[in-house]
Amino acid sequence: LSERQYWGSDLQLPKIPFEEIMYNDESAYKWLCTLKKVGIVLLTGAAARQGELVKLGHRIGFLRLTFYGPTWQVQDKADANNVAYTTGKLCFHTDYPVLQHPPGVQFLHCIKQTAVGGESEVVDGFHVSNKLKEQNPQAYQILSSTAVDYTDIGVDYCDFAVQCKQRIIDVDSRGQAIRINYNNATRDTVFDVPAEKVRPFYAALKEFNDLLNSPEHKFAYKLKPGDVVTFDNWRVLHGRQSYQSGSEVTRHLEGAYADWDVVMSRLRLLRKRVLNRD
């Protein structure tokens, strides 16, 4: 598999028709290779109704079940148990860092889109981590070594009380970023570090956050009904612009997750079938 391709606001968003990846092995192989390499691929032309992600799950193997269900509906809900289920702006985040093993891949299928607002934003977390490492090695060191508390308590698919500690930048033995774990919405009020480490941590986090939000790094686009955005949840942080709430639901996305193990398994099988080799 070829090396990662880093990107900023200059991203040429890769697009493949949904039907093609469903029924054509070469297209499906291209999809998963690009997902691994670039971190994001837009599938176009799916039906604008619920259930398309279940089909996508069957195509790769199976979806990852979480406390929000096998698939979940992102829309304005009166008694929202999650900030995503409102009309407010969502700052850059990765999903579910409160799980010991956060989902590797995320799917968001646009069923209904609001006329004004609701744009999606993405940023390459690995690219930004590299930038931070160049710009301020100390800040990088802090974010890749400080354990941050995450918590999520509520009821959805079933009742849950989840807690865990994650480093915001997970690194391998060579100090290379392998996973970003960053979601302010589920960061705990408890921060279990010595008092003198608090300020340096927040200074480092602010620098990382500023880089994430810098115009040269973030890419914005607007999903249309039938679009399915698929992205690496360990690498790509995502957010959305706010939109007007009204008496009826004006924006509806269906979401789902898959684990990288399942995705990589399908990629290997497709490679064997398409290229007739291991």
At 249 the pLDDT is 83
> Token digits for 18?
């949904």
Secondary structure of residue 20 in the 3-state scheme = helix
At 90 the pLDDT is 94
> Token digits for 60?
């790769």
At 250 the pLDDT is 86
At 135 the pLDDT is 98
Question: Taking the model in full, what pTM does it have?
Answer: 0.96
At 245 the pLDDT is 82
How crowded is residue 153: how many other Cβ atoms within 10 Å of its Cβ? 12
Please give the Cα distance from 74 to 35 (Å, whole number): 22
Q: What is the four-CA torsion angle of 38, 42, 43, 45, rounded to 10 degrees?
A: -160
Please give the Cα distance from 121 to 267 (Å, whole number): 27
At 247 the pLDDT is 80
At 225 the pLDDT is 98
Secondary structure of residue 159 in the 3-state scheme = strand
CATH number of this structure's domain 15-275:
3.60.130.10
Element (H, E) at 56: helix 52-60
Measured between alpha carbons, how far is residue 229 from residues 89, 158, 254 in Å? Answer: 19, 27, 11
Instruction: Please list the pLDDT of the chain residue by residue as tens digits (278 residues).
Output: 568 999 999 999 999 999 999 999 999 999 999 999 999 999 999 999 999 999 999 999 999 999 999 999 999 888 889 999 888 999 999 999 999 999 999 999 999 999 899 999 999 999 999 999 999 999 999 999 999 999 999 999 999 999 999 999 999 999 999 999 999 999 999 999 999 999 999 999 999 999 999 999 999 999 999 999 999 999 999 999 999 888 888 899 999 999 999 999 999 999 999 998 65
Q: 182-213 as b/e, with b when 16 or more CB fall inside 10 Å?
A: bbeebbeeeeeeeeeeeeebeebbebbbebbe
Q: End-to-end CA distance of the chain, in Å?
A: 11
Give the CA angle between residues 7, 1, 278 to the nearest 5°: 160
Closest to 168 in 3D by CA, of 130, 211, 138, 125: 125
Q: Are 119 and 251 in contact (CB under 8 A)?
A: no
At 1 the pLDDT is 55
